[in-house]
Structure formats: structure tokens, C-alpha cells
Amino acid sequence: MLFYVVLLLLGVGAYYYHFTANRKKIIERLEVVAQRRRDDLAKNVEETRRIADKLDPKRRDYIGGLDFLQLQNELQKGTVTCVEAVRTYFHKAILAHEKTNAVTCFILEADQQAEELDEKAKQASYVKPPMFGVPLSLKECLKLKGYDTTRGFVQDAYRPATEDSIQIEHYKKLGLIPFCQTNVPQSLLSYNCSNPLFGTTTNPFDSTRTCGGSSGGEGALIGGRGSIIGIGTDVGGSVRIPCHFTGTAGIKPSKMRFAHRGGGASVPGKPMIDANDGPMAQDVKANVEFLRNVWGDIDFQSDRDPYCPPVHWNESLYSSEKKLRVGYYIDDGWFTPTPALQRAVLESKKHLENAGHTVIPFYPPRLTKVMQLYFRAVCLDGGQYVLNKLLKDIIEPTIRFQVTLWMVPTWVQRILSYPVSLVFPRMAVLMQSLTRDTFELREAYADIEAYREEYVGMMMKDDLDVILCPASVMPAPQHDIPSKVVSGVSYTCLYNLLDFGAGVVPVTTVSKSDEEKLINEYPETDKWYQTVKKATIGAIGMPIGVQVAAPPFREEAVLRTMREIELAITGK
């Protein structure tokens, strides 16, 4: 018996030695690649600066002070050229990048593309497309011909896309000029923004805090006024959380409103929880104008992707004067948000009521079950796809906690969840969420379908048009917190599970009274609550947004509601 024990221990030791030796070789090789990529970015930034400096500073400041609609109008009239617009945002993006580390690559040929558009505009027969010459920033994972889509994995550096995605092709047709790519968290499955290839992107309001993720580079760049509009992706809040953290506005449409053929994914093969691209901008107006033009020409995407239905922009839904019925909640029953987020919803409720809309309480059902279903459907193979990628890469320190969970076998997590449930019930829920087999996965899909029916049925019973709720559980925390509070996405991931359109509009900032209420009244009943409370202390002045959601193909109602809140707050 002793012989077999010794043999087993020797086998385990040999495997561990082989594993660590192999990991050391991988890391040493990839560190060289990462350093080369960072050196290339430094050169890329300096070349971009050289191009940007060709524009007169006074002219640049004037163009940089225009909002989206003003810039769009001046480009249409010809009082601002495409070259001037691109060089202005090259300059503004460099300033934002130096502050936040938001950019992974500047697209130098944007300047040449702008020159070509300006030349076309000189032809009397040329009809300018609706977004002629507007600079567009792109989340790094979006396929752009000739550029990497690493998703923060060093192993995928220097493997550029061979063609544009259908959506990028469409944006170019509409006159937009992609001018830079922005940073993401490694694997995209986090709401911070850090990876071993490009480093950490910080919040433009406080460098000690995260800009969110996974579209964090977009949030930081737009929040830092380095881009006028950009495109992110969202599988659990990846557009909405960065908007909330950085004081910007954005929307995640339902899956079918954009083409997906030829696109990438954080985890391929998850049919019930799909990511979708969505615009992010400094205000709701820009999102509306962008989507009005994209969906007004949606046949371009539908013709190239038969799975994208030709659902056009619904102006009557957006511009309707019929008063809305809005359901609202400030606590989903899974994770109580901090006081500032609750206040933001209540203030938005009042704004909508003042505009004549009916706003009534709504209680989303069974969020504990939703969290289990969401993580089971996203990590449908128990996290093995992402784990295998990570074990062949340099692992980003801020997601080590998540990686550790994925490394523990599902059956071990299930066993450990029972004693854990006695002291940390919510953690036990997540420990029971990863699937053991295909039978359990099929049950999860069936449960998601049933939940969608239940939720929509509740909305229909109350004749609700949209839902108003918090955008997160807290304002922007420190960079390591998202990995420690993975359950903090309940307010956003719910609408991925439902496949609703959902957007975020900035409403307020954390006040001194919010912090006092946090200190005196916010719960500390488990480790997650304690972590959120500690992370939120000192967040006075940080942006706070609210979330608006509606069933698929009713994104125009979401945007209308967001815009009405924006108008009530800003007056413009």
C-alpha cells in the first residue's frame, strides 16, 4: 500500500514539475512578445502625434469642442474636413491615453482615408454618407482588417484580422473613420480593464479606480474626451458598466439587431448568452443619431448575414408622444447597491414622472437563480475554454481569483459549497453554478427560456414599456475589486440572459451624504458586501448612471427614456 502511495506522490510531483517548467518557458517567450508589442505601441503613438501636430492648435481646439451632432453637421457642410476631424481626435486620444492608458493601437491610415474622403467630397456628383468623416474608436476585440484582436491574450499578438467584420464594413460605408483600438481585460470576462499585453487602463476621474470592462478602454477614452463615439461589446455589462463608471452613455442592443457572421466571442458556442456590439458616446444624442443611421441602413448587414433580420430604425417608437409605463427597482434582491446608485434611480424616476410618465415598482423574480443560470450558460464548459487559453499565456494578476475558481474541478466546488453555504451563502450559489454535464446544461437552457417567459409575462401584466434600475452595485472601484466581487454584475447580466436591449445614461455623482449613508447603513453581512463598502469609501465625485431596459427590438423605447432623463438633467 505504501508503495502505491509513494508512486502516486511521485507522479503528482513529476506532473507539477513538468507543468511549472512548461509554464516558465511559456511566460519567458511571451514576455518578449509583450515587450515588443508595447514598444510598437510607443512608436505608434509618436507617429500619431506627428500627424496630429500638423493641425493648427486653435483649429483643433475649436473642432474638439464640437459635440457629435455639431461635428457631423460641419463635416456635411464642409466647414470642417475629414482630415481636420481625424487629426483633432488623434490629438485628443493621445491626451486621454497618456492619462488612462486606453489605446492599444492608433490606426495611422485613418489620416489617408480622411484625405481620400475629402477628395471625393470635391466631386459635384458625390453624395456624402450620413456620418461622413466622423472619427470612430473601436474596442480591440472587433475585427478590423490588418489589426490584432487579442482580447488581452499575449499569445494572440501579431495575428491580425484578414478582413473587416460586417459591422466595421458597414460603419465605413456610412462614412465613419476608425482611428484607434482600445484596451480590454484579459479574456473579456471581467469588469476591470487590465491585461499582460497592454497593462491597466484607469478611470479618467481617478487613476486608482477602474474604468470598467470589458469595453473599459472605450469608457476611459470617451470619458476622457479622447473619442466622440466608439463601439464596445457586451456579454454581461461590458458596455453598460464602463459607461456607468466613466460618466458616458451607451446601449447594448438585443442580439438580432446586428450581424454576427464572422465575428468573434469571448467564449465561442454559448447560444443562450451572446455578446452584442453597441455604441458608446459622451451623451445619449450621439447614440441615437448613430443607431438611427446604422439601423436605417440595416439591409447592408442583413444582405451579408441572413441571421440578421432587416429590422429598421423605428422613428415612431422613439419620437412617440404617448406616455410610457415604466417599472423601476432599486434592489434586485441579490445584491443591494450602494446609496448613490439607489438615489440615481429615484431621481430618474422623478424626472420621468415630471414628464408625465407612469412609474411603478417592479420586482425582478428569483435573481439568485438568475445568477446561477447566467454563469452556467456563459461558462458552459465549466470555464475550461478560457482556462486553457490562460494557462498558455501570462495570467493577468487582477483576474487570478477567477482563474483559481476555474481550476477547481466542478465536483469539488459542489462538495465545498455545502460547508461554505453556512458562512457565505451567496458564494455557495456561485460554487454550484458551473455545469457538471450536458444534461445539466440542457436544463439550464430550458430554465432560461422559462425565465424569459416569466419576466416578459410580468411586464405585460403591468403593461410596462421599459424597466428603470441601477447600472451596477457600486461606483467605479479599485482595479482588483471586480475579480473579488464577480457577483456584482447582477444588474447588467440579467438583461443579457433576457436578451433585452439595455442602456446606461449618466445621472449624478457620489455625494458626501451618499458616503455618510454608506458608512452608517450599508450592509456588511458577507465578504462581498464588506468589499463593496470598503471600495466605495472615498468615491465622492465619481460618476453614477442608471440603466434602462426593454424587450428585443424595442431599443428605440430604451433610447427615448434615456434621452428624456438626459434632457431633464442637462437641459440639452
Q: What is the pLDDT of residues 109-127, one digit of tens each?
A: 999 999 999 999 999 999 9
Q: Confidence class of residue 54 from pLDDT cuts 50, 70 and 90? A: very high
**Statement: residue 12 has pLDDT above 80:** no
What average pLDDT does the segment 173-180 reach? 98
Point out which residues pair with 327 in neighbouring strands. 360, 467
Is the separation of the CB atoms in 431 and 420 below 8 Å? yes
* CA dist list (Å): 220 to 72, 216, 241, 402: 22, 6, 12, 24
**Statement: residue 238 has pLDDT above 90:** yes
Tell me the pLDDT of the chain averaged across its residues: 96
Contacts of 559 (CB under 8 A, 6+ apart): 251, 284, 287, 288, 291, 318, 503
Q: Confidence class of residue 83 from pLDDT cuts 50, 70 and 90? A: very high
Q: What is the pLDDT of residues 452-461, one digit of tens each?
A: 999 999 999 9
From 321, 301, 236, select the one nearest 275 (Cα to Cα).
Answer: 236
Q: Confidence class of residue 215 from pLDDT cuts 50, 70 and 90? A: very high
Side chain identity, residue 491: Y
Q: What is the pLDDT of residues 157-170, one digit of tens each?
A: 999 999 999 999 99
Give pLDDT, residue 108: 98
Catalytic site positions:
139, 214, 238
Q: How far apart are CA 559 and CA 192, in angstroms?
A: 26
**Statement: residue 261 has pLDDT above 90:** no
Is the separation of the CB atoms in 185 and 60 below 8 Å? no
**Statement: residue 221 has pLDDT above 90:** yes
- What b/e sequence results for 432-466 when a residue is b if at least 16 CB atoms lie within 10 Å of its CB, and e otherwise? bbbbeeeeebeebeebbeebbeebeeebeeeebbb
Asked which of 59-68, 82-91, 218-227, 255-264 is least confident by mean pLDDT, the reply is 255-264
Residue 119: which H helix or E strand, with range? Answer: helix 109-121
**Statement: residue 259 has pLDDT above 90:** yes
The reply to whether 227 sits in an annotated binding site is no
Point out which residues pair with 326 in neighbouring strands. 359, 466
Give pLDDT, residue 35: 98
The reply to whether 237 sits in an annotated binding site is yes
Question: What does the block give as the cell for 260?
Answer: 454576427
The reply to whether 254 sits in an annotated binding site is no
Give pLDDT, residue 272: 84
Point out which residues pair with 233 in neighbouring strands. 277
Give pLDDT, residue 5: 67
* CA dist list (Å): 28 to 24, 31, 104, 159, 397: 6, 5, 22, 19, 16
Give pLDDT, residue 405: 82
**Statement: residue 472 has pLDDT above 90:** yes
Higher pLDDT, 303 or 402: 303
Please give the CATH number for the structural domain made up of 327-380+435-571: 3.90.1300.10
Is the separation of the CB atoms in 237 and 497 below 8 Å? no
Q: Confidence class of residue 266 from pLDDT cuts 50, 70 and 90? A: confident
Higher pLDDT, 206 or 262: 206
User: Which residue in the block uniquely carries the three cell numbers 466613466?
Assistant: 246
Give pLDDT, residue 166: 97
Give pLDDT, residue 269: 75
What average pLDDT does the segment 487-516 reach? 98
The full DSSP string for 366-416 is: -HHHHHHHHHHHHTTTTTHHHHHHHTTSPPPGGGHHHHHHHHS-HHHHHHH
The reply to whether 188 sits in an annotated binding site is yes
Question: What does the block give as the cell for 82?
Answer: 475629414
The full DSSP string for 334-363 is: SSPPPHHHHHHHHHHHHHHHHTT-EEEE--
Domain 40-313 has CATH 3.90.1300.10: yes
The reply to whether 327 sits in an annotated binding site is no
Q: How far apart are CA 455 and CA 457, in angstroms?
A: 5
End-to-end CA distance of the chain: 80
Q: What is the pLDDT of residues 320-358, one digit of tens each?
A: 999 999 999 999 999 999 999 999 999 999 999 999 999
Residue 68: which H helix or E strand, with range? Answer: helix 68-77
Is the separation of the CB atoms in 87 and 106 below 8 Å? no
Higher pLDDT, 291 or 11: 291
**Statement: residue 474 has pLDDT above 70:** yes
The reply to whether 207 sits in an annotated binding site is no
Give pLDDT, residue 17: 75
Please determine whether the domains at 40-313 and 327-380+435-571 fall in the same fold group of CATH. Answer: yes
Residue 291: which H helix or E strand, with range? Answer: helix 284-296
CA-based R_g, the chain, Å = 24
Beta strands 501-509 and 249-252: pairing type? antiparallel
Is the separation of the CB atoms in 547 and 504 below 8 Å? yes
Q: Where are the domains of the chain?
A: 40-313, 327-380+435-571
